[in-house]
């Protein structure tokens, strides 16, 4: 008996117990509309249970042998694509690429297709199924070697890509660039029950060999030959070298924050410019004295007599200015 069947049986037993404990007189008829709504909710609940238990419909596809995924991988989770945010994940992805002997523009057989990272996910799937380039790239022969239609850095089979698209809720219009290929590969890693953020072990390699035939641990054959050519120790050594490379990779340069120098006064002839204005000091005028009672006086400067105002007279400017303006003489 499966977990779902056991849960269903327990629900039915509980329902019968509740019915037995309730008298017929206390039962209230349920409107038909409410029953329909309940049935619809129940169906949605069952679908959610099926998804959580991994009971998804298997896709009826046969996949040719090759350097890519031997079989479609069930993907569980929320549909969010993971990213290589840790050194372990980045090293694992690099190791898979090296084992498969491919990069982001590689078709099975070794051909490099520069337009591959410009195609959409749907175009790559169609190219894998037909062997023809998308019409906007000429529509000619893509260049796969006979025997497989594996594509990209992780040698995705078209059936695997279709499965990922369906299970992850992708639209197919996403660009098949390096970032998407990495995230799709990590989804396959997680789907095989391997944590990409943990150190690589023999057990993890064996699980991943069910996805990538170049890894040791599987028995896949292609044209009468085993596809794996590496031992577990060789893969782990490859992974360790990639870890060292990733950890030693220089970080993106950042501009240092320079301290702002203290602002100093600029010197000009007979002028000093200060950085900030000083608060003026208000000094009241002193009361006039008896000696300063006469505002005007005469001064002999050579042969010329000049009228002037005494500098010690408290009303020497403001008062005189007011008197002149208002003609108070």
Q: What are φ and ψ of residue 296, in 5° steps?
A: -110, 145
Domain architecture of the chain: domains with CATH: 87-248 (1.10.530.10)
Q: Which residues contact 30 (CB under 8 A, 6 or more apart)?
A: none
- Fill in the DSSP letter of residue 233: H
| N-term to C-term CA, the chain | 120
Q: Give the per-residue pLDDT at 84.
A: 67
Angle formed at CA 85 by CA 254 and CA 125, multiple of 5 degrees = 120
Coil vs helix vs strand at 292:
helix
**Is 303 a residue whose pLDDT tops 70?**
no
pLDDT tens-digit series, residues 75-107 = 333 344 566 679 999 999 999 999 999 999 999
Q: Which residue has the tokens 């602002």?
A: 263
Q: Which residue has the tokens 């969010």?
A: 80
pLDDT tens-digit series, residues 135-164 = 999 999 999 988 899 999 999 999 999 999
92: left (phi over 0), alpha (psi -120 to 50) or beta: alpha
Sign of CA dihedral 203, 205, 209, 215: negative
Q: Give the per-residue pLDDT at 3.
A: 54
User: Per the confidence metrics, is the pTM higher than 0.85?
Assistant: no
pLDDT tens-digit series, residues 223-262 = 667 777 899 999 999 999 999 998 886 654 544 545 555 5
- Residue 275 buriedness (CB in 10 A; 0-12 / 13-18 / 19+): exposed
Q: Give the per-residue pLDDT at 209.
A: 94
Number of Cβ within 10 Å of residue 218's Cβ equals: 18
- Residue 76 buriedness (CB in 10 A; 0-12 / 13-18 / 19+): middle
Distance of alpha carbon 64 from alpha carbon 234, whole angstroms: 27
Give the CB-side neighbour count of residue 86, counting CA atoms within 13 A: 10
Number of Cβ within 10 Å of residue 227's Cβ equals: 20
Distances (CA, A) of 145 to 80, 84, 132, 164: 33, 30, 13, 24
Torsion (CA) 3, 9, 10, 14 in degrees, nearest 10: 160
Q: Are 313 and 288 in contact (CB under 8 A)?
A: yes
- Fill in the DSSP letter of residue 156: B
* β-pair type (271-273, 296-301): unpaired
pLDDT tens-digit series, residues 31-50 = 777 777 777 777 776 666 65
Tokens of 13: 């037993």
Coil vs helix vs strand at 7:
helix
């Amino acid at each position: 008996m499966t977990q779902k069947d056991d849960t269903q049986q327990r629900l039915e037993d509980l329902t019968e117990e509740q019915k037995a404990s309730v008298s017929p007189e206390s039962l209230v008829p349920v409107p038909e509309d409410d029953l329909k709504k309940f049935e619809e909710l129940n169906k949605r609940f069952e679908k959610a249970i099926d998804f959580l238990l991994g009971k998804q419909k298997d896709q009826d596809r046969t996949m040719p042998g090759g350097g890519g995924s031997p079989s479609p991988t069930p993907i569980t989770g929320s549909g969010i694509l993971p990213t290589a945010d840790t050194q372990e994940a980045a090293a694992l992805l690099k190791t898979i690429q090296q084992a498969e002997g491919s990069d982001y523009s590689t078709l099975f057989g070794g051909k490099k297709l520069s337009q591959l990272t410009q195609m959409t996910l749907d175009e790559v799937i169609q190219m894998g199924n037909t062997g023809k380039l998308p019409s906007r790239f000429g529509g000619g022969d893509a260049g796969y070697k006979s025997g497989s239609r594996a594509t990209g850095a992780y040698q995705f089979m078209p059936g695997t890509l279709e499965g990922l698209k369906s299970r992850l809720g992708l639209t197919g219009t996403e660009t098949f660039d390096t970032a998407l290929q990495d995230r799709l590969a990590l989804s396959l890693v997680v789907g095989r029950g391997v944590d990409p953020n943990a150190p690589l072990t023999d057990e993890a390699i064996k699980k991943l060999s069910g996805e990538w035939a170049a890894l040791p641990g599987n028995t896949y054959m292609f044209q009468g030959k085993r596809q794996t050519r590496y031992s577990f120790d060789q893969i782990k050594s490859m992974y360790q070298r990639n870890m060292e490379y990733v950890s030693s990779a220089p970080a993106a340069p950042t501009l240092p924050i320079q301290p702002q120098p203290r602002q100093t006064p600029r010197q000009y002839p007979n002028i000093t410019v200060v950085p900030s204005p000083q608060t003026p000091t208000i000094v009241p005028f002193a009361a006039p004295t008896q000696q300063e009672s006469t505002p005007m006086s005469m001064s002999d400067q050579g042969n010329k007599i000049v009228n002037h105002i005494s500098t010690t007279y408290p009303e020497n400017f403001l008062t005189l200015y007011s008197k002149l303006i208002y003609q108070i003489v």
